[in-house]
Amino acid sequence: MSPQLLSILVLAGMFVVATMLPINIGILAFVASFVVGTFALGLDEKEIFEGFPVSLFITVVGVTYLFSVAKLNGTIDLLVDQGIRLVRGRAILVPWVLFAVAAVLTALGTFTPAAVALLVPIGMNFAFKYRISPLMIGMMVICGAHAGAFSPMAVSGALVFGIVADSGLAVSQAVLFFASLAFNALLGAITYLLLRNRGEESFVERPETTDTDDDLPTGGGGVATLVRTRPQVITWQQRATLVALVGLVVGALAFHLQIGFLALAAGAVLALLDRENLGKAIDGISWPTILLVAGMVTYVGVLEHAGTIEWVSEGAVHLGAPLLVALVLCLASASPRRSPPRPRS
């Protein structure tokens, strides 16, 4: 059996095992990197470790750590509540406020599923209260979450930009972010136009629901309910966090500084200023995601040593069916490669 075929079978086996059993595929990928690299390809430890994504590791750790600090000191809840307060009975703004809040949360480093899980219950409450299509609310939240997902501070954006940069391609972080933002805003606009007039009483408040200045939805998991609250007082920790987030964006976009180190520095300073939550912040780092990304990218490095990527691409050319060739090449290209294919000698 060729090393290329063996590495593909191992990859397929990892996905099967990780799907059927509650084990992080990153662990399987690290084990596979060692076994395939050492015994099938004859690689030494240094060559196997070449695939470890140091930059991506620092980025994901830094961004999720900073987000953890921001969540603990209430900055994330502050952003959600302030966004929702903008509605103030103007039901026509509800979908776009939810879109904007979702985009801001993911742009600041919240995982896309987490932002959706946070805002959808709130959105469903508004959908019932103002007779808005629940489908519209859900789609607007999802579009908003994806709109901010390619920010330099977002995990998805950091991963994609890091892989593109390692491949030797010149792509601006700002272009990547704003292109995704514009595309998802367009999808949101189309969704809004198509679904806004579903029913004659859309965007009309239900008579049994009262809407006073103090009745506001609160964020968090579970079923959102309307509770009476007063305008939230912004603490100095939250002000410092907002300044740090702005500085992080400026440093990454304007000065092209490494986003992971910036996020770690900002998170460390903020955590030291809030000693009550100093020890809790580390728990908010998304270790399962880090393990998954690091393990899979390391294994892809082993695949490159084996020539598997090039082998699959060359084999696809001989399939004959153009659409099938395009599909196979898309799947091969979607692998988180560290560098472009090595030229054949």
DSSP-derived secondary structure for 45-73: HHHHHTT--HHHHHHHHHHHHHHHHHHHT
Q: Which long-range contacts (CB under 8 A, 24 or more apart) does 39-46 make?
A: 40/3, 40/6, 40/7, 40/306, 41/3, 41/302, 41/305, 41/306, 43/302, 43/305
Once rounded to an integer, what is the mean pLDDT over residues 70-83? Answer: 82
What does the DSSP 8-state code read for residue 36? I
pLDDT at 319: 64
Structure tokens at 246: 């702005």
Arithmetic mean of pLDDT over the chain: 80
pLDDT, residue 334, reads 58
Q: Which residue has the higher pLDDT, 34 or 196?
A: 34
**pTM of the shown model:** 0.67
> Could you give the C-alpha distances from 334 to 158, 240, 345, in angstroms and in order?
16, 39, 25
Instruction: Name the band, by pLDDT with cuts 50, 70 and 90, for residue 212.
Output: very low
Give the pLDDT confidence score for residue 226 in this predicted structure.
Answer: 40
Specify the pLDDT at position 195.
Answer: 86
The residue-averaged pLDDT of 321-345 equals 54
- Residue 284 · residue 64 · CB < 8 Å: yes
Average pLDDT for residues 79-99, to the nearest whole number? 80
Q: Select from 293, 236, 210, 234 the least CA-distant residue to 79.
A: 234
Instruction: Give the model confidence (pLDDT) of 171-205 as tens digits.
Output: 788 888 899 999 999 999 999 999 886 644 555 65
> How far apart (Å, rounded) are the C-alpha atoms in residues 66 and 13?
35
pLDDT average, residue stretch 304-317: 78
Once rounded to an integer, what is the mean pLDDT over residues 254-269? Answer: 87
- pLDDT(340) > 50: no
| Average pLDDT value for residue range 265-272 | 92
Q: Span 118-143, mean pLDDT? A: 85
Instruction: Please tell me the distance from the alpha carbon of residue 134 to that of residue 308, in angstroms, as a whole number.
Output: 46
CA distance 24 to 242: 34
Minimum mean pLDDT range among 117-126, 288-297, 318-327: 318-327
Give backbone dihedrals phi and psi of 290, rounded to 5 degrees, phi first. Answer: -60, -45
Confidence (pLDDT) at 203 = 59
Q: Residue 124 above 50 pLDDT?
A: yes
Pair 59, 259: CB distance under 8 Å? yes
pLDDT category at 220 given cuts 50, 70, 90 is very low
Answer yes or no: is pLDDT of 228 > 50.
no
